[in-house]
Amino acid sequence: MRAEAQNYADRINDALALLRRFLDWDRALRRLDELNARVEDQALWNDPRAAQEVMRERRRLDEAITATRAIERELADTVELMDMAEGEGDDALVDEGVASLAALADRADADKIKALLAGEADANDTYIEVNAGAGGTESQDWAGMLSRMYTRWAERRGMKVELIDQHSGEQAGIKSATLLLKGENAFGYAKTESGVHRLVRISPYDSAARRHTSFASVWVYPVVDDNIEVDINEGDLRIDTYRASGAGGQHINTTDSAVRITHLPTGIVVQCQNQRSQHKNKAEAYNQLRARLYERELQLREAQANAENATKTDIGWGHQIRSYVLQPYQLVKDLRTGVTSTAPGDVLDGALDPFMAAALSQRVTGEQVDVEDVD
């Protein structure tokens, strides 16, 4: 087989291996049989909510198993056809086989990512919170760049983006911002972005044109829908109101409409000021709190700590998950997976899918990569 075709076949086999491992193949087959039997039991339909959960799990498993088997079958058929074509010296048919393997490799990668987004909240909308680290204007400008990067990524995927809360920097950028991303699997994709992000560049704010390093943290948590119960004791909350800032500032907003809620047992703080109504801001802040508490519970369940709350760590050296170097060379490097890009402009414009895909895969394999940071 041609080297190019072998590379595609290896990609497909790697994706299939990850799919089987993620599904726990033998257990998944047994579970699908169990679910099929339950669907045929008329007693199930006496409880509509239970029936809905069974059908949802059955559909997910059936789609994943069917897709995996289809790719395995097409891979075997294409390789067999190419072997015959090579034996007969039919170069045109071999070229057609290579093209088929290339398309199948792309499909296998897409199905792999789709299957990896099977967590109980992965399909939900998501909040993305960005906080500037120490360093004043430099870090605040960097936080603003990150906020735009996630907005552009969401727009590329056809998601709707709402600005829930933002505190502008004194000279440029932002001190913090909270975005709400609405779209299919928003949390499932974005959850791998939680952590500290590092920028290296020649500062546009330094008259001596020196190179600066800036840090900002990103924290991702899912919107909690009605299917997820989160108990909150009202006595555990401290609710503060204040005058909203931003465009127009206090000269336009003359009422204390912004709301900040502190969950005293955990120290989690959420706030909202994007609505003119205090009632609406309070409702949105409460939704954020439910989401934060739910994500905290998810973290406690996870064996790995790669979704650790970035806002509770130092925003600086030793905690970063990704470095973005703009000068003296161009490179973005993920320090968990080793994935790189030599086009930071594209990454900052929302080209994040390769980084997210690799991080999702790593969560399944548990494989740790020894990656050196960039200077």
Segment 202-236, tens digit of pLDDT: 988 888 888 999 999 999 988 886 656 677 888 88
Q: What's the pLDDT band for 28 if we cut at 50, 70, 90?
A: very high
pLDDT for 251: 40
pLDDT for 319: 66
pLDDT for 306: 42
pLDDT for 226: 61
87 CB burial (10 A radius; 0-12, 13-18, 19+): exposed
Cβ proximity of 109 and 171 under 8 Å: no
Q: What's the pLDDT band for 252 if we cut at 50, 70, 90?
A: very low
How big is the CA angle at 237 (ends 293 and 225), to the nearest 5 degrees?
35
Between these two residues, 118 and 311, which has the higher pLDDT value?
118
For the stretch 32-42, pLDDT in tens is: 999 999 999 99
Highest mean pLDDT among 49-58, 343-352, 357-366: 343-352
For the stretch 45-70, pLDDT in tens is: 998 888 988 998 898 889 889 989 99
Rounded mean pLDDT of 107-125?
A: 84
Which residue has 């997910």 as its token pair?
60
Rounded mean pLDDT of 289-296?
A: 82
Q: Would the pTM of this model clear 0.95, i.e. be above it?
A: no
pLDDT for 308: 41
Percent of the chain at pLDDT above 90? 50
pLDDT for 326: 95
Distance CA 190, CA 291 (A): 14
Closest CA to 227 of 39, 48, 37, 41: 48
Ramachandran class of 96: left when φ > 0, alpha when ψ lies in -120 to 50, beta otherwise:
alpha
Distance CA 186, CA 159 (A): 8
Whether pLDDT at 253 is above 80:
no
What residue spans of 117-210 are helical by DSSP H? Answer: 137-156, 186-190
How big is the CA angle at 151 (ends 148 and 153), to the nearest 5 degrees?
110
pLDDT for 102: 95
Distance CA 208, CA 84 (A): 66
pLDDT for 301: 61
Q: What is the DSSP string of 206-239?
A: -TT--EEEEEEEEEEEEPP-TTS-----GGGEEE
Highest mean pLDDT among 133-137, 173-177, 237-241: 173-177
Rounded mean pLDDT of the chain?
86
- Residue 130: both structure tokens together: 């960005």
Rounded mean pLDDT of 322-334?
A: 95
Distance CA 343, CA 352 (A): 11
Whether pLDDT at 303 is above 70:
no
- Residue 249: both structure tokens together: 């500032």
